[in-house]
Amino acid sequence: MAGEWILMVTAQTPTNIAVIKYWGKRDESLILPVNDSISVTLDPEHLCTTTTVAVSPSFEQDRMWLNGKEISLSGGRFQSCLREIRARATDVENKEKGIKISKKDWEKLHVHISSFNNFPTAAGLASSAAGFACLVFSLAKLMNVKEDHSQLSAIARQGSGSACRSLYGGFVKWIMGKEENGSDSLAVQLADEKHWGELVIIIAVVSSRQKETSSTSGMRESVETSLLLQHRAKEVVPKRTVKMEEAIQNRDFASFAGLTCADSNQFHAVCLDTCPPIFYMNDTSHRIISCVEKWNRSEEAPQVAYTFDAGPNAVLIARNRKAASLLLQRLLYYFPPNADTDMNSYVLGDKSILKDAG
């Protein structure tokens, strides 16, 4: 392992948006949730994290840069991910560079990590999900970790809960698990990205500013003070996840949209039921909801589902390309970007939609 060398791995991971939300932990340090959750992983070319991890005998400590600025790795979450991956490192050989790293060497070697999000960080578009999934995945590649995606998801979970769902594409379920040590709290794929190819996702960026209450502290306050959260976790979500899985399996858009919107609204109701209340959505978010609800009600069947994470930005899921095209027309009419509507931009799940949609 001697000499001056550097070994690097770069990985890219998309973000995921929950259609059945995770909000509340039963164990803060292991990041174990109070309910199952289900998400859809976005197309990697639109909202994703790109992370490069490097190792060299000349590095004196572990260091990390996020969007070009150095950040501290001393937090428990980064330390958990690094520790769990290092514990599973295996021998690495790079003949081209004449590098041989044994399992034991990894205990002494330090890493440098550089990560960029191509979308707003900490603004309610799940940057922690793409970020920690990408960190764990790239470190696992660098250190030749042989665990499968589900095992890696349980490690990413310890960085940020929602991150465990970004290890898979398509529709993903985070099973809350029963074990106290968290060994069965991991993500599984429900359906791959081709299963429901008709859906088109449009993200309306209402504000790219960093939110005032992080997801971590918001959900902690909800667990401590909201009775609605207890009811939601015990009575509502278990039944809703079963129905959501059925809707996804059957590509039943009416059920999917009904459940997605109801779950987003209940999550924000829990935020309001928190003491002091947390406001993630703003006026523009509410106007988007009204616009979609009104349109859905004027049609025979719902055309679009909406969901909002811990922030004001709307994730809109259209039943097909035609509905997406009509949705975009409406949005551009009612919320032209950079006017006094507070709307910053739109990100399309399918770039060619305006050209081909019927």
Q: Which helix (H) or strand (E) holds 133?
A: helix 127-142
Among 37, 39, 117, 274, binds ligand ADP (CB under 6 A): 117
- Regarding 158 and contact with ligand ADP (CB under 6 A), the answer is no
**Segment 29-58, which members bind ligand DP6 (CB under 6 A)?**
31, 37
- Of the two residues 120 and 182, which places its CB atom closer to ligand ADP in the complex? 120
Query: Under rule CB under 5 A, which residues in 156-215 are in contact with Co ion?
Result: 215
Minimum distance of ligand DP6 from residue 174's CB (angstroms): 8
Indicate the helix (H) or strand (E) that contains 69.
Answer: strand 69-71
Q: Using CB under 6 A, which of 125, 155, 202, 205 touches ligand ADP?
A: 125
What are the C-alpha distances in Å from 297 to residues 46, 228, 252, 304, 316?
30, 28, 17, 11, 16
- Decide which of Co ion, ligand ADP, ligand DP6, none touches 31; Cβ closer than 5 to 8 Å per partner kind: ligand DP6
The phi and psi torsions of 315 (rounded to 5 degrees) equal -110, 120
Sheet holding 304-308, edge to edge: 304-308, 314-318, 200-205, 345-348
Peptide bond just before 276 cis, omega within 30 deg = yes
The answer to the question of residue 229 lying near ligand DP6 (CB under 6 A) is no
Counting contacts by CB under 6 A, is residue 236 touching ligand ADP?
no
Residues 305-324, mask of contacts with ligand ADP (x by CB under 6 A) = ----xxx-------------
Task: Answer yes or no whether residue 205 interacts with ligand ADP by CB under 6 A.
Answer: no
Query: How many residues belong to the site for ligand DP6 (CB under 6 A)?
Result: 15
Cα of 44 vs its chain's centroid, Å: 12
Of 1, 7, 99, 122, the one binding ligand ADP by CB under 6 A = 122
Residue window 122-161: x/- pattern of binding to Co ion, with contact defined by CB under 5 A? ------x---------------------------------
Given ligand DP6, Co ion, ligand ADP, none, residue 18, with its beta carbon under 5 to 8 Å by kind, binds ligand DP6
Close Cβ partners of 190 (under 8 Å, ≥ 6 residues apart): 38, 170, 171, 172, 173, 245, 248, 249
Q: Are strands 110-117 and 63-66 parallel, antiparallel or unpaired?
A: parallel
Backbone angles phi, psi at 164, to 5 degrees: -60, -25
